[in-house]
Amino acid sequence: QKEVEQNSGPLSVPEGAIASLNCTYSDRGSQSFFWYRQYSGKSPELIMSIYSNGDKEDGRFTAQLNKASQYVSLLIRDSQPSDSATYLCAVNQDSSYKLIFGSGTRLLVRP
């Protein structure tokens, strides 16, 4: 079992729709969770971080964390073609400071 799992996609949504990206992790001791966006040929860049159970909103982005279910999600509202990218879920195992990434979900937003 991979430590951080994501559906590879592609996830295709029409412009203006809500895109929902999901991630599960295996280490119950993890405390820090991140969503990164990566455009083709570029380095990953941070979209959201979340540390507590519940929702965290930042503009069109909402991160959701459920530690009991070991589940993290990212919602993108009013999706735009410029949101088309690969979204990487990352989990920091705080006991070791090891930062593990999922394999990423490719999002395609259709104009």
User: Which residues contribute to the site for other proteins (CB under 8 A)?
Assistant: 3, 6, 8, 32, 34, 43-46, 49, 51, 88, 90, 92, 94, 96-104
CA angle 2, 84, 73 (to 5 degrees): 45
How far is the C-alpha of 48 from the C-alpha of 83, rounded, in Å?
A: 14
Tell me whether residue 4 or residue 13 sits nearer to other proteins (CB atom). 4
How far is the C-alpha of 36 from the C-alpha of 17, rounded, in Å?
A: 20
Tell me whether residue 66 or residue 95 sits nearer to other proteins (CB atom). 95
Q: How far is the CB of 18 from other proteins (least distance, A)?
A: 23
Q: How many Cβ atoms sit within 10 Å of the Cβ of residue 25?
A: 21
Q: How far is the CB of 32 from other proteins (least distance, A)?
A: 6
CA distances from 79 to 24, 27, 48, 67, 110 (A): 23, 31, 16, 27, 9
Q: How far is the CB of 64 from other proteins (least distance, A)?
A: 18
Tell me whether residue 44 or residue 62 sits nearer to other proteins (CB atom). 44
Tell me whether residue 89 or residue 109 sits nearer to other proteins (CB atom). 89
